[in-house]
Amino acid sequence: MSTLRPTLLLALILAAAVSGCASSKSGSVYSRDQARQEMTVRQGVVESVREVTLEGTQTGTGTMAGAAIGGIAGSNVGGGRGQVVGAILGAVAGGVAGSAIEENSTRKQALEITVRLDNGQLTAIVQEGDERFHPGERVRILSGRGGSRVTH
């Protein structure tokens, strides 16, 4: 039992650390590569805003951490060959659970913002929902190497 606790703790810390590394898709967050890069600015009016969900990431870390934890837990079942079978089944079940936990914990709420540009063209951009936009509101669309974003 003394080796189980440190290993379990290490796996949980690793899973938590990696889930915090997900990049932001916010209209207010720029990557380091986007700094000092020229962006095209277009202006328009918000036509509609719809809440959507950004799917979570699958880096494999959740699967590996879950498999490690499940394998360790499963190896405590039975004795002899039963421990091996328990470890294998525990690793498979833990991997599936770890993958699902990683995907769910990195899923984010977002907005699909449809904008009628001043030239009459209609465009839509999906970004994290950390800022609110309303139909009829005047906005800017910034486009560059890192994609496009809607800002006030």
98 shares its domain with 123: no
Name, in order, each residue with C-beta under 8 angstroms of 23's C-beta and a sequence gap of 6 or more: 31
67 shares its domain with 19: yes
Task: Classify residue 26 as exposed, middle or buried by CB count within 10 Å of its CB (0-12, 13-18, 19+).
Answer: middle
Q: What three-state secondary structure class fits 16?
A: helix
Domain that holds residue 19: 1-23+56-106
**Phi then psi for 23, rounded to 5 degrees?**
-75, 155
Using CA atoms, how far residue 151 sits from 26, 112, 138, 141, 144, in Å, is: 10, 13, 9, 6, 14
- Least confident range from 41-55, 72-86, 112-126: namely 72-86
131 shares its domain with 117: yes
Q: How many domains does the chain have?
A: 2
pLDDT in tens, 35-45: 767 889 999 99
Residue 114: give its domain's CATH number.
Answer: 2.40.50
71 shares its domain with 142: no
Q: What is the mean pLDDT of residues 19-36?
A: 63
Which amino acid is it at 93? A
138 shares its domain with 150: yes
User: Which one-letter DSSP state was computed for residue 6?
Assistant: H
Query: What is the value of pTM for the model shown?
Result: 0.58
